Structure 1
Amino acid sequence: MAGSDETGKTPRNRSRKIISLAALAGIFAGAVGVYVMERPSGNIVATTNPDDQCTLKTANAKAIDKAATGAVAAMRGADSPQSMGSLTFTGPDGKPVRLEDFKGKTLLVNLWATWCLPCREEMPALDALETKKGGDDFKVVTINIDTGDEAKPKAFLSEIGVKSLELYRDPSMGVFNDLKRKNLAFGLPVTMLVDKEGCQIAAMNGPAEWSGEDAARFIEAAKAL
């Protein structure tokens, strides 16, 4: 079909399905609170420092809140931006990675799992965003939280035709649990905008259509902060 991606779906049809799944995810999360079981965290939750540079970025958060429109309107600017540099997970080579290792790049950080239906619909859009916008100043960092080894998430990404996203993992679910304690994660998928200094400027729960023009404009606004 003309205009379709590797999944065989047009961006418009995928966008409609993502919107429906986002509504369903919201209802489900509201009904049961959190639908991911908490496990012991492998991450250290840093205490809030009044002098932390992130707490001074409320104006940036308000600006990016206004930039989130259309298909990405659910992304909300942070009331109190927080440092995310200490979040730890594993890289494609299996070695430990900290979010601060990406300092200097604007990041769209997304947590996902193979059993998460909205994630399945969202991942091709995130892959398209990384293909279009990824570079020296921006990166999509998708962190898989499936338990066990990497075989299942690797097969999942291959199945849905993901080509540009690297496989970052946290089978301990420590990152999710840390974000949960920070009142940023209520289910999957959860997505954060992290600025060049490792500060969480915006976040959303549920999927979005990241391959369209609304997302492209949002990322350009984020890179300009």
Structure 2
Amino acid sequence: MTSRSKMAVALGALVLVALGGVAAFYSGQGGAGNSTCSAATTKLAQLRPLVKGEVAGIQVPQRSAPVPDLAFNGPDGKPTSLSAMRGRTVLVNLWATWCPPCLLEMPALAKLQKTLGGPDFEVVTVNIDTRNLDKPKEWLAKKDVVGLSYYADPEAKVFQDLRAAKKAEGMPVSLLVDPQGCELATLQGPAEWAGPDALALIRTALGR
């Protein structure tokens, strides 16, 4: 084989590798080759008309993709993660006592959990205070915010992970995640989660 032929073969191999990499990238972004979030993507069309009123700020993606496997501590203080909640729809909300808008929506989140919470749905509020770690529980007790299981990440890494995934700009931030761990909607900022607009959207996500 001549040197020119060898070079042509090498270039052809590089092109094939590059094309394979592009295909893998788009497959991982929820393309036709990835069926993990196909059910969630179908659900998005039902949710879009419900983004109005008190939940008008919610963003519904054009195509659903897996949410990062966020890691935090469970109610027992032991490490858990979003993947441990597979099999049910969850509304993940990040909050902190130094965030006034976060505190304003906590009673509504507790009411949402009371209204719709069950085997197929949970409001997962993750506190990211990094100092005075008793303060969040004390605040919840003082304001009589009950019914929410206490999740926390005292290193606030969960927020950094969402920001790296371009799913968080500030606080609070909430993500509606389907039973397969796929994104249904994201909200930057607070909402009236116990209001009729939010309830209609969540119920539709649950197929109720």
Q: TM-score range by the shorter chain?
A: 0.7 to 0.9
Partner SS for 2:65: strand
Under a length normalisation based on structure 2, what TM-score does the superposition of the two structures give?
Answer: 0.79
Q: Point out the structure with max Rg over C-alpha.
A: 2
The residue that corresponds to 1:188 in the other structure is 171
Give the residue type in structure 2 aligned to 1:196. Answer: P
Q: What per-residue deviation string (whole Å, max 9, x for no partner) do you get for residues 140-180 of structure 1?
A: 00000110363011111112211111110111111111111
Which residue of 191, 204, 207 corresponds with 2:187? 204
Higher mean C-alpha deviation, range 67-76 or range 122-131: 67-76
- Secondary structure class of the residue paired with 1:136: coil
Distance change (3 Å), C-alpha of 1:56 and 1:195: closer
- Are the aligned partners of 1:109 and 1:193 in contact in 2 as well (CA < 8 Å)? yes
Letter in structure 2 aligned against 1:147: T
Query: For the residues of structure 1 that align with 2:129 and 2:143, how far apart are their CA atoms?
Result: 17
Unpaired runs of at least 5, structure 2: 1-24
Structure 2 counterpart of 1:49: 28
CA contact (8 A) 2:68 2:161 kept: no
Structure 2 residue 118 is the aligned partner of structure 1 residue 139:
no
Give the structure 1 partner of residue 65 of structure 2: 82
The partner residue of 2:133 within 128, 138, 150 is 150
SS at match of 1:193: strand
Q: Aligned match of 1:162 in 139, 145, 157? A: 145
2:37 is paired with a residue of what secondary structure?
Answer: helix
Mean CA deviation greater in 50-59 or 192-201: 50-59
Q: Distance in 2 between matches of 1:101 and 1:127?
A: 21
Q: CA deviation at 1:56?
A: 6.8
Cα displacement (A) at 1:82: 2.6
The number of residues matched between the two structures is 179
- Between the aligned partners of 1:154 and 1:49, the Cα distance in structure 2 is 39
Residue 42 of structure 2 corresponds to which residue in structure 1? 59
Give the distance between the partners of 1:130 and 1:170, measured in 2 at CA: 20
Per-residue CA deviations over 1:105-157 (Å, capped at 9, x if unaligned) read 11111000001000111000000100111001111000001103630111111
Could you say what secondary structure the match of 1:147 adopts? coil
CA RMSD of aligned residues (A): 2.0
- Distance, in Å, in 1 between the alignment partners of 2:133 and 2:75 is 10
Counterparts in 2 of 1:194 and 1:186: CA distance versus 1, 3 Å: same
